[in-house]
């Protein structure tokens, strides 16, 4: 069964620092997608970044980048020059293929990130 | 651009009362639609998904049901709410593009449901 593990329940850094959130997953599939979503206090779930497993190049979106280690099944998120608005819960998710060819996201438990001024 | 709406934003209901939460998507056709529930401080649990009108798949047995009466409308219902139905309900949509595995899910603003 596919699982997603986020080992850091909570992290706290100073504004402008760099922070890395860890995520590991377990799957026997060779082609899949991985996602990081952000959920601020408003509870709106916002896509941060997406990584295709067949791509060796790590995805980047402005200050957000991932370190994707396929063999190790690791998918960490790095936030550079952190800002107060980055304070949120961050969820790692793995895309699982269902029996009817639809897809389901398997979610980690989340990491609460606090950016301090 | 595509937008997704959910209402109501907040709902307080007594145990045993019925429920109807609505989700609509604009700016796209034939989306895949999803209902999730999130308990406080936890990740998301997939409740239902739909690949087309009238097509509903359930991931977990529960007190809830879903319907898709129109292409871009997804409704979550219950005949009699339980205390355990309290939570944050999120609707999401996605489009599967030709050529394989591309299905990012985009979420609505959510509905906070409190059952007393």
- Taking the C-alpha atoms of residue B15 and residue B17, their distance in angstroms, rounded to an integer, is 6
How many angstroms separate the CA atoms of B92 and B86, rounded? 19
pLDDT by residue for chain A (117 residues), tens only, comes to 678 999 999 999 999 999 999 999 998 887 788 999 999 988 889 999 999 888 889 999 999 999 999 999 999 999 999 999 999 999 999 887 766 667 778 899 999 999 999
Q: Give the best residue of A105, A108, A109 to mutate against chain B (max B CB count within 10 A).
A: A105
Percentage of the residues of chain B whose pLDDT score is greater than 70: 92
Instruction: Examine the pLDDT at B101 and tell me if it is beyond 50.
Output: no
Quick check: B92 contacting A, CB < 8 Å? yes
> What pLDDT score was predicted for residue A99?
64
Is pLDDT of B72 > 70? yes
- Nearest by CB to residue A109, choosing from B42, B46, B59, is B42
- Which residues of A fall below an 8 Å CB-CB distance to B? 31-33, 35, 37, 42-47, 50, 52, 91, 95, 98, 100, 102-105, 107-110
Measure B80 CA to nearest chain A CA, in Å: 26
Residue B110 has pLDDT above 50, yes or no: yes
Closest Cβ opposite residue B57 in set A42, A100, A109: A100
pLDDT digits (tens, 9 = 90+) for B30-67: 888 999 999 877 788 889 988 889 889 887 767 899 99
Average pLDDT, whole number, for chain B?
89
Cα B35 vs. chain centroid, distance in angstroms? 3
B1 pLDDT tier (thresholds 50, 70, 90): confident
Q: Where do we find the tokens 């603003």? A: B109
Q: What is the dihedral of CA A3, A108, B36, B96, to 10 degrees?
A: -70
Residue B115: which of B81, B74, B70 has the closest Cα?
B81
Q: To which H or E segment does residue B34 belong? A: strand B32-38
Find the closest chain B residue to A35 by CA distance: B104
Q: Which one of B2, B44, B110 would you mutate to disrupt binding with A, by most A Cβ within 10 Å of its Cβ? A: B44
């Amino acid at each position: 069964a596919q699982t997603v593990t986020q080992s850091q329940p909570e992290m706290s850094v100073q504004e402008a620092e760099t922070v890395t959130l860890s995520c590991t997953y377990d799957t026997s599939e060779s082609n899949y997608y991985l996602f990081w979503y952000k959920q601020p206090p408003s509870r709106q779930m916002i896509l941060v970044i997406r990584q295709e497993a067949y791509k060796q190049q790590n995805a980047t979106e402005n200050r957000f980048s991932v370190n994707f280690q396929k063999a190790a099944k690791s998918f960490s998120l790095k936030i550079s020059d952190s800002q107060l608005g980055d304070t949120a819960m961050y969820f790692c998710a793995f895309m699982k293929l269902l029996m009817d060819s639809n897809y389901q996201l398997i979610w980690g438990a989340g990491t609460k990130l606090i950016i301090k001024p | 651009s595509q937008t997704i709406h959910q209402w109501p934003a907040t709902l307080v209901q007594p145990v045993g009362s019925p429920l109807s939460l609505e989700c609509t998507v604009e700016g796209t056709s034939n989306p895949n639609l999803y209902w999730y529930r999130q308990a406080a401080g936890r990740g998301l649990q997939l409740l239902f998904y739909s690949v087309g009108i009238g097509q509903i798949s359930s991931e977990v047995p529960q007190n809830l049901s879903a319907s898709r009466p129109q292409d871009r409308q997804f409704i979550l219902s219950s005949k009699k709410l339980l205390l355990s139905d309290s939570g944050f309900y999120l609707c999401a949509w996605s489009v599967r593009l030709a050529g394989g595995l591309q299905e990012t899910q985009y979420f609505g603003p959510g509905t906070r449901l409190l059952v007393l």
